[in-house]
Chains A and B, each alone.
Chain A
């Protein structure tokens, strides 16, 4: 208790406490004087001797104050006020420091908020550590991650002992036709235990319960409930018509992804005698408490062996694997890309700190006298260091305030963005985690900035400093060296940032320059969502035919066609394929994409026919039509790369191939070869593709229209046309081909933009740093320069001398940065495309850019030095 009272008195009755000390010291001196007089001295001499013996009263007082309890708090408060005063005295410098720190802290806060939302935030599922994804493998066919067939899932469901529960999910698209405009919705059929396995409870209504497998009931996804029904709380009991069947809504899910981001969920019944060939189910499992993933894997392998023995035909080569739920959040590349951006922003922050430290050092020089005075008056070294730190912490705190305002605005913008590969962007926020991170960065920058200036205080030569005031002595030469080191470090870090920027930009350029194969300008794309009735009696083919015919009659349309999966951004359908007469490659058969197309499609996307012929009305899809005789002759077209792979050095036309090798084994004749294209995305290389003609059993739903002018202007006519054909047909995803391309590379574009911004700032900050140091050098050496000029040095000599002096730390920094970059740039590999991490051109360009910038920054102070008037300069001394 006692010490609380003492601290209270020391802090809040400071004046009284000090007064008593004052009085005590006065009385001490009086007693001393009395003593001297008693010893025979006269009063004047006694006074003098007493003063000498007592020593510096202020120093003693300061020492007593320092040992008082609460001295630290008291000192900090006083010093904080002093620091604020000091910063206000120098508004220009303060503003500059705050802006630089705000940029650094703000940028790192923004990047971290995205990082946190995309990667760190846990999944919205209970106890997600025990959740796994279960996949099938058929390693003999080279498939290591397949969906489960229905029967395989039920076998797993009935026999496994490692899991508390397992659930399966089968998603598809269907048309919703009750209340309001028809809409294509993503529907998921889920087993009754699916949500319980994930640990998700509906926020409204209830979950599916046992025995409801065949009930016509539905649970709505959160987003869909909000978007289509305006978060209507009375939705329970409403009937939705999906594929013509009514489903009663019984529940609404909480928000979250993945797994529960479909729009409508329907129950799926227990059906162990189901098909084994069709692999359409994604499965999730919740491990029992205490069961390790390895143990579960072993159990699943035993299970697979049993299933292989039970169904030697369908389950040949079957195996299982499981993946932790961590993998669901974001693909690995996203993690790598965001980590790189986080490191980049860290470098930027450190460069900014270097600059602020530089400014503080320069100002510290101007304050030599003040600081010397303070230490003469008894301020301890620790106290001066603390004061320096306090000042820089204050600066970074101010910076943080500005930074948070900046970040708040940016986060609002980021939420509206949609970047493929970065999940949960709409959930980015400045939550407590992000704020903690910003606080951490703020304290870190504050300490880092304060480090050099705080320890630069003149600890020796107080008297000299007082005598000379703000003029330069040996201590300031040392300070110049510290500042040069800072500049070198800034250049090295800037080099790293600029190299990453350069490499990513080169990759992006390379990506844009890739031979795409298809033409993207003036192409309109949209997708139609056919109801099931279109798959019967050739209705779909009729509809496509009449639509394509009417489109080609439109004056704004050059040509049109349809394909089963949209190029670049559509899902990829694949098959194993081989030549009929021989195996083209050793090992498992090659895997190829397949696409169903109309004859006009190739011309519409600009793919050339290299050999053979295009499809015509005599060609049929490779699938048999139910109720019709089996096809005797099937025809396909190949992409050039696929033809080269299966029939090297041969004319592929007329050759036979085996489609779905190992599965359905359909024989088909190659009738044409088409130019290669980047079907699966710009960074995937030319795709191996089998083209299959459309027909009564294969109805492609992605349309491409080549237009004469801006594709978007034609769209209203297209819509009117479709509505005339079938008013209930939902039209979706209307985009130009160019937009599709640009959307597909938006992660790379974002990386380029962010890194270019960082690189630009780094360049600016580094040049600013070198400018500051040189200006200071020139000012310090004004007299010397004047002397040199008086002794006959030319202006040119002076300029050369100054610029060389400035370029030295820059060169050091560039060399250092280059070395580190060579070592670190391999971590960039996941962001790069078509360029090596150690790319000479980039490194040379970056070095050149930094050198030119440095020279430019040197020129201004150099020029000032050049114009020095020797007469004035010499008089300064």
Chain B
């Protein structure tokens, strides 16, 4: 091991985001109301009991990718603290996508839960 690593702080306990997890979470929190980037990040932490701390480096590429795919749309607006901010909102495609992803997740988690309990 390179010596440098010994002086690095221990990694923050944080489950690596499963492929696709972030997308569902963003869709989910946006289903309730339009939100800006920081709001999305904070809400995800809140609804997952701080299991997922979404960093800007993951959040922004995801938001832009989903917007280009047509799941989200965005507009500039005023935040609760009267700051200029970009708000994201689900499109119809996004709503459909969320439903489909939610169903998928249910199936997967049920299957996983069952498999892990038996063993």
Which residues of A approach B to under 8 Å, CB–CB? 2-3, 6, 20-21, 23-25, 27-28, 30-32, 34-35, 38, 53-55, 59-60, 63-64, 66-69
With A55-B55, A59-B57 as contacts: A2 and B70 at CB distance below 8 Å: yes
| Contacts A27-B84, A34-B83; A54 near B65 (Cβ below 8 A) | no
Contact indicator A28/B37 (Cβ below 8 Å): yes
Kindly list the 6 A-B residue pairs having the minimum CB-CB distance in the complex, ordered from nearest.
Answer: A31-B38, A67-B61, A27-B85, A24-B86, A63-B61, A67-B65
In the complex, the answer to whether A54 meets B64 with C-beta atoms within 8 Å is: no
Chain A residues contacting B28 (CB-CB under 8 Å) are none
- Is the CB–CB distance between B81 and A27 below 8 Å? no
Q: Which residue of B has the minimal Cβ distance to A59?
A: B57
- By the criterion CB–CB under 8 Å, are B57 and A28 in contact? no
> Which residues does chain B contribute within 8 Å of A6, judged by CB atoms?
68
Q: Report Cα–Cα, A64/B60, bound state, in Å.
A: 6
Give the CA-CA distance A23 to B37 in the complex, in Å.
12
Q: Is the CB of A54 within 8 A of B56?
A: yes
> Which B residues from 45 to 91 make CB contacts under 8 A with A?
55-57, 60-61, 64-65, 68, 70, 79, 81, 83-86
Apart from A23-B86, A60-B61, A68-B64, what 11 extra A-B contacts exist at CB < 8 Å? A20-B86, A21-B64, A23-B84, A24-B86, A25-B60, A27-B85, A31-B37, A31-B79, A34-B81, A38-B81, A64-B60
Minimal beta-carbon separation of A247 from chain B (angstroms): 79
Pair A63/B57 contact, Cβ less than 8 Å: yes
C-alpha spacing A783/B61, complex, angstroms? 48
Residues of chain A with a CB closer than 8 A to B83's CB: 27, 30-31, 34
State the Cβ distance, A306 to closest chain B Cβ, in Å: 79
* Pick from A20, A34, A55: contact of B56, CB under 8 Å: A55
Q: A2-B70, A24-B37, A68-B68 are in contact. Are A60 and B57 (CB under 8 A)?
A: yes
Of the A-B pairs whose beta carbons lie under 8 Å apart in the complex, a sample of 28, sorted by A's number, is A21-B64, A23-B84, A24-B37, A24-B60, A27-B36, A27-B83, A27-B84, A28-B36, A28-B37, A28-B38, A28-B56, A28-B85, A30-B83, A31-B38, A31-B81, A31-B85, A55-B55, A55-B57, A60-B57, A60-B61, A63-B60, A63-B61, A64-B60, A64-B61, A64-B64, A66-B61, A67-B64, A68-B68
Q: How far is the CB of A18 from chain B (nearest CB, A)?
A: 12
For B61, list chain A residues within 8 Å (CB). 60, 63-64, 66-67
Contact A69 B81 (CB under 8 A): no
- Closest A residue to B70 by beta carbon equals A2
Chain A residues with CB below 8 A from B37, complex form: 24, 28, 31
B57 and chain A: residue at smallest CB distance: A60
Residues in A whose Cβ lies below 8 Å from that of B70:
2
Q: Closest Cβ of chain B: how far from A20's Cβ, in Å?
A: 8
Min CB distance A43 to B, Å, is: 14
Query: Please, which residues of chain B bring their CB within 8 A of the CB of A32?
Result: 38
Shortest Cβ distance from B74 into chain A, in angstroms? Answer: 9
Neighbouring A residues of B84 by C-beta, 8 Å: 23, 27
Report the interface size class on chain B: 10 to 19
Q: Inside 8 A of B68's CB, which chain A residues have their CB?
A: 3, 6, 68-69
Residue of A nearest to B86 (CB): A24
Chain A residue with Cβ nearest B81: A34
A64 to B56, CA, bound (A): 10
Q: CA A31 – CA B39 in complex, angstroms?
A: 9
Contacts of B57 in A (CB 8 A): 55, 59-60, 63
Q: Closest Cβ of chain B: how far from A811's Cβ, in Å?
A: 36
Instruction: Determine the distance from Cα of A35 to Cα of B61 in the docked complex, in whole angstroms.
Output: 23
- With A and B bound together, what is the CA distance between A285 and B64 in angstroms? 70
Residues of B within 8 A of A53 (CB): 56
Q: B85 to chain A: which residues have CB within 8 Å?
A: 27-28, 31
Query: Chain A residues with Cβ under 8 A from B81's Cβ?
Result: 31, 34, 38
Task: Report B26 CB to chain A, min CB distance, Å.
Answer: 14
- Which residue of A is nearest B55, CB measured? A55
Q: Is the CB of A60 within 8 A of B56?
A: yes
Residues of A within 8 A of B56 (CB): 25, 28, 53-55, 60
Question: Which one of A20, A31, A68, A69 contacts B36 once the chains associate, using CB atoms below 8 Å?
Answer: A31
Alpha-carbon separation in the docked complex, A3 to B68 (Å): 8
- Most central of A25, A28, A55 by chain B CB within 10 Å: A28
Chain B residue nearest to A37 (CB atoms) is B81
Give complex CA distance A55, B41 in Å: 15
Complex: A32 Cα to B57 Cα, angstroms: 15
Once bound together, how far apart are the Cα atoms of A157 and B23, in whole Å? 80
CB distance from B100 to the nearest CB of A (A): 19
Bound CA–CA A23/B84 (angstroms): 9
Shortest Cβ distance from B64 into A: residue: A64
Tell me which residues across on chain B come within 8 A of A28, comparing CB atoms: 36-38, 56, 85
A53-B54 Cα distance, complex, nearest whole Å? 11
Interface-centre pick from A23, A27, A34, A55 (highest chain B CB count, 10 A) = A27
CA distance A34 to B42 in the complex (A): 14
A209–B40 Cα distance when bound, in Å, is 90
Docked CA distance A20–B88 (Å): 14
Q: Which residues of B contact A27 (CB under 8 A)?
A: 36, 83-86
Q: How far is the CA of A105 from the CA of B37 in the complex (A)?
A: 54
**A66 surroundings in chain B (CB, below 8 A):** 61
Complex alpha-carbon distance, A21 and B70, angstroms: 18
Q: How far is the CB of A22 from chain B (nearest CB, A)?
A: 11
Q: Which of A2, A23, A27, A31 has the most B CB atoms < 10 Å from its CB?
A: A31
- Which residues on A sit within 8 Å (CB–CB) of B79? 31
B38 touches A35 (CB 8 A): yes
Q: Kindly provide the distance from the CB of B37 to the nearest chain A CB, expressed in whole angstroms.
A: 5
Docked Cα-Cα span, A67 to B61, in Å, equals: 6
A6 to B56, CA, bound (A): 23
Contacts of B38 on A, CB cut-off 8 Å? 28, 31-32, 35
Q: List chain A residues, Cβ under 8 A from B65.
A: 67
Cβ contacts under 8 Å, A3 to chain B: 68
A54 to chain B: which residues have CB within 8 Å? 56
Please indicate the chain B residues that have their CB under 8 angstroms from the CB of A30 in the complex: 83
Q: How far is the CA of A474 from the CA of B87 in the complex (A)?
A: 49
In the complex, A872→B84 CA distance in Å?
Answer: 61
CA of A24 to CA of B84, assembled, Å: 9
Minimum distance in angstroms from B27 CB to a CB of chain A: 17
Bound-state Cα–Cα, A330 to B23, Å: 66
A602 to chain B, nearest CB (A): 89
Chain B positions within 8 Å of A24 at CB level: 37, 60, 86
Residues of B within 8 A of A31 (CB): 36-38, 79, 81, 83, 85
Chain A residues whose C-beta falls within 8 Å of the C-beta of B36 in the assembled complex: 27-28, 31
Closest B residue to A17 by beta carbon equals: B64
Shortest distance from the beta carbon of A529 to any chain B beta carbon, whole Å: 82
How far, in whole Å, are A24 and B81 apart by their CA atoms in the complex? 16
Complex contact A60–B60 (CB within 8 A): yes
**A276 to chain B: closest CB distance in Å?**
85
Complex Cα gap A64–B68 (Å): 11
- Residues of A near B60 (CB, < 8 A) are 21, 24-25, 60, 63-64
CA separation between A161 and B56, bound complex, in Å?
Answer: 83
| Complex contacts, B55 vs chain A, CB 8 Å | 55
Most buried by A among B37, B55, B68: B68
Shortest CB-to-CB span from B51 to chain A, Å, is 18
Question: Chain A's nearest CB lies how many Å from the CB of B1?
Answer: 13
